Structure 1
Amino acid sequence: MTKRTKKRAYRLSARAESQAETRRRIVDATVELHEKLGPAHTPMSAIAERAGVTRLTLYRHFPDEAAILAACTSHWSALHPFPAAALWEGIADPATRAAAALAAHYDYYAGTRRMWFITYRDVGLVKPIQPLVAQVDAYLTGVAESLAAAFRAKGNVLRQLTVTLRHALAYATWLSLEERGLDTRGKAALVSQWLEGVRNKHA
């Protein structure tokens, strides 16, 4: 490799690093503003100002609101992933397994409540959020179906167990129980009673 080639490679590398750093600043600024104000109240101009870049630079990296929301969500989700299924999948008793999964999700909501509150508040106002929320809904539905299946129930009992668990896993349910003063253990215990009621009703 000649000196000229080395210099050119160095310049390209430095430029790529600079662009990556700019992109990170923009994403970090977006996360901060979304968590503080919400997507519906965060104009692109505010993101550019917080990140210390021009609007032209902002749009060069993220051409529209959907693109920056996707990057913001990806970054935030990587920092705050949903609980790993390994926390409960190894538990044989289905009721204990469900309680463990619920507790893990309730602790997760407790640590990330501000962003979830903002997200669900603004989902009807900011269209690009809707497919992202739909992905979360699909994930929670999958968890509920898996937990319900462990009870080895059939027909209407299985359906009611699944519906109960899906309701229990929702952020809105966590928030409602949180506002009524229940801690994680209390929330999970209450849902366990719901599940037991479904099973006893059809015993």
Structure 2
Amino acid sequence: MSDQQCSTRPRGYEMHKRAEDVGRTRQCIIEAAVHLHGTAGPASTSIAAIAERAGVTRLTVYRHFPDENALFEACSGHWLSRQKLPQPDKWSAFESPIERLMAGLADLYRFYRAGEQMLTLVIRDQHAVPKPVREAREEMRRKYVKVLAGAWPEAAAPAQRAVIGHATVFSTWRSLCREQGLTDDEAVEVMVTLVEAVDAKA
């Protein structure tokens, strides 16, 4: 083995180890942010608090995330990656409007129940949520409504589409299931019945 090869291997090992350490530090910061967003809420989560929980300095946090928007987007992406997300593309397999609505709302309400604590705090503190994250969430909500309303023969009437939109939001699930004590299945049934009633009047 040449002297050059001997000197290269340790250098490569050190670079690899450093990269792993950087990756672990970044992950610790993200997980600290996720924890604080899900317990205190985004508006009450400071960079100092994230740094303290992650066991790093504020400078280290900023070295990995130059601004709070970048950190929030990484935090949001990490949390979502650990959830079983709603799958509107699968709802489209149901040709019957009512069956599609039932499948879609059941999928959404399952997701809302599983992520209730985080969703409650993020929606409460939406003023502290970066605009790109808010816009992405709103775009997804519009997709939910489009898929569910699109099952009706000539698209849903405005009033019916509005009720479908109301049925898809987290606050509706929370009102029916947390405040009024319904199960997810009962909440789905209530909203489907309401949409059917509007459909009959259209």
After the TM superposition, which residues 37-76 of structure 1 pair with which residues of structure 2 at under 5 Å, given as runs? 37-76=40-79
Tell me how far 1:27 sits from its aligned partner. 0.5
State the partner residue of 1:164.
163
Post-superposition CA distance 1:47-94 (Å, at most 9, x none): 101001111211111122111111101101111142223543222211
* 1:143 paired to 2:147: no
CA distance in 2, matches of 1:133, 1:106: 20
Consecutive unaligned residues in structure 1, runs of 5 or more: none
* 1:197 paired to 2:197: yes
Consecutive unaligned residues in structure 2, runs of 5 or more: none
CA distance in 1, matches of 2:41, 2:129: 13
Tell me how far 1:171 sits from its aligned partner. 0.5
* 1:112 paired to 2:112: no
What is the total number of aligned residue pairs between the two structures? 198
Measured on the aligned residues, the alpha-carbon RMSD in Å equals: 1.5
* TM score, norm. by length of structure 1: 0.92
Q: Which runs of 4+ in 1 moved over 6 A?
A: none
Q: Given residue 16 of structure 1, which amino acid in structure 2 is its aligned partner? A: A
Tell me how far 1:158 sits from its aligned partner. 3.0
* TM score, norm. by length of structure 2: 0.92
Post-superposition CA distance 1:94-143 (Å, at most 9, x none): 1011111101100110111011110111112x152x43122112111111
Q: Which moved more, 1:82-91 or 1:183-192?
A: 82-91
CA distance in 1, matches of 2:67, 2:106: 38
Q: State the identity %.
A: 35
Post-superposition CA distance 1:146-175 (Å, at most 9, x none): 111111134xx4333322111111011111
State the partner residue of 2:25.
22
Q: Given residue 20 of structure 2, which amino acid in structure 1 is its aligned partner? A: E
SS at match of 1:13: helix
